[in-house]
Amino acid sequence: MDRTQCCLSLSVQPSRGLMDEKFIVLIQNGPPGFKLTVHAFHQSEDGHKWEAFGHYTADATGTVNVSEDLSLGGTYSGVEPMGLLWSLIPVPGSKPGLRMRRLNIQIPMEVTISVYQGHQTEGFVDQVSLASVLVERWYMAPGVRRIPITEGGLTAMLFLPPGPGPFPGVLDLWGGGGKLVEYRSALLASHGFASLALDYLTNKITIETGKLVDNKYFETAYSILQQHPQVLGSRIAMVGLSLGCAITFKMAVYSDVFKLSCAVCISGSHVQPVDGSLEQMMSFFQENAQKIRVTEENHAIMRDLLLPIPADSSFKVDVGQLQCPLLLVVGEDDQNWPAHESAMDIKEMMERAGNSHLLTVLSYPNTGHLIEPPYTAHARASNFISASSGEKFIALWGGEKVAHSYAQEDAWRKMLLFLRENLYAGRNPVLPPSSHL
């Protein structure tokens, strides 16, 4: 086919949307039966380049609808409306161990979607596309406010939804890599929750003193969120991932300050020295470091650190005392944390205590540790720097790309529903303002 004779058109709707919003990619005016490649390209903030692509054949009207038509090959296959995002991989020649993470959530993730003639698998940079569209993916909806919080010695960022509020609150904790991770909180605020992202491993206090924070640090964060004039102080949830779950369990059960309406724990465990501080918790993990396995590819498997799940109650948070609804999200192929085994033990403990009616478990086969917001590119293994030890290695997170991506989409939808049901009970929920992007 002569490119000069091609009147092929490409549209992406919406071309500007939230990160968890689906889009429709439509190619029209091609010849019937025309073979083409739909390609997505993204250059991340660290300069690394990522791509995804699918192979399609135009129908009798010369049309391809990515939301409805089969991809015959590429980085994904089958009918996959959002495969151009979740199957993004580093371009050939990239260094190993890359993981895509959004750092500056005040600007969008930009993805160029293009159409190429034929079923191509490489060399896209050297070819001229038949059509291209620039797509913006945002974590912050219009009107979401981003407010640094340093009161009480905190290193935190508060995200407030558009409007006067007051809004239900979420205290958002990430895992052992430390740093202030903002993108999940920004997206939660885009869905109507005042979300406080908290750095508890690489915060100002720890940098200045060299000591890990104590439980008071988390109680201060909770109190500041609770007392904010645009937050419903009686309706606060806690969301933790990985190590953040250990903090969430401990605060939810043992703290006299925390009065949570509900809690969400993603890829975490209740196993820890109950009477210990964060420093003692990290020491406990370090003492078991000999249990870390290394694959032939030199990827570290850390799930055995907490296995077998101890019978000794002094090394497990007593979830039988939990008094708020709990949502556990676990991947059954988590190679970093024994999340599935922990969930089964938590279920058993709560059944014995008579509070299992508070528990919901979402357990996903072939899903790894890093269960992120929808359409985030899956990383089975990636570079990791421990915030506590400074050690650098490639961590094996686990998960199979397609199953993991489905789990991310399903878990996010159900988590938002769980938060709305428990934080907006008796109130009209704030609908995501994605249509205003």
Vertex 137, ends 139 and 202: CA angle to 5°?
Answer: 40
Q: What is the mean pLDDT of each run of 10 residues along the chain (437 residues)?
A: 66 96 96 96 94 97 97 97 97 92 94 96 91 97 97 96 94 93 97 97 92 95 97 97 96 96 97 85 85 93 94 93 97 97 98 97 98 96 83 93 98 98 72 46
Distance (Å, whole) CA 155 – CA 7 = 54
Q: Of 369, 404, 405, 434, which one is the catalytic site residue? A: 369
Q: pTM of this prediction?
A: 0.94
pLDDT at 6: 61
For 86, the 3-state DSSP assignment is helix
Q: Of 71, 195, 242, 342, which one is the catalytic site residue? A: 242
Q: Is the bond preceding residue 338 a cis peptide, omega within 30 degrees?
A: no
Q: How far is CA 100 from the centre of its chain?
A: 11
pLDDT at 5: 45
pLDDT at 286: 83
Q: Does 369 participate in catalysis according to the annotation?
A: yes
Q: Does 242 participate in catalysis according to the annotation?
A: yes
Number of Cβ atoms within 10 Å of the Cβ of 86: 23
Distance (Å, whole) CA 26 – CA 8 = 10
Q: Is the bond preceding residue 373 a cis peptide, omega within 30 degrees?
A: no
How would you class 100 by CB atoms within 10 Å of its CB: exposed for 0-12, middle for 13-18, buried for 19 or more? buried
CA–CA distances in Å: residue 357 to residues 108, 167, 360, 412: 40, 26, 8, 21
pLDDT at 280: 86
For 398, the 3-state DSSP assignment is coil
Q: Of 299, 334, 345, 434, which one is the catalytic site residue? A: 334
Length of the chain: 437
Q: What is the DSSP string of 31-56?
A: PTT-EEEEEEEEE-TTS-EEEEEEEE
pLDDT at 427: 59
pLDDT at 403: 98
pLDDT at 285: 83
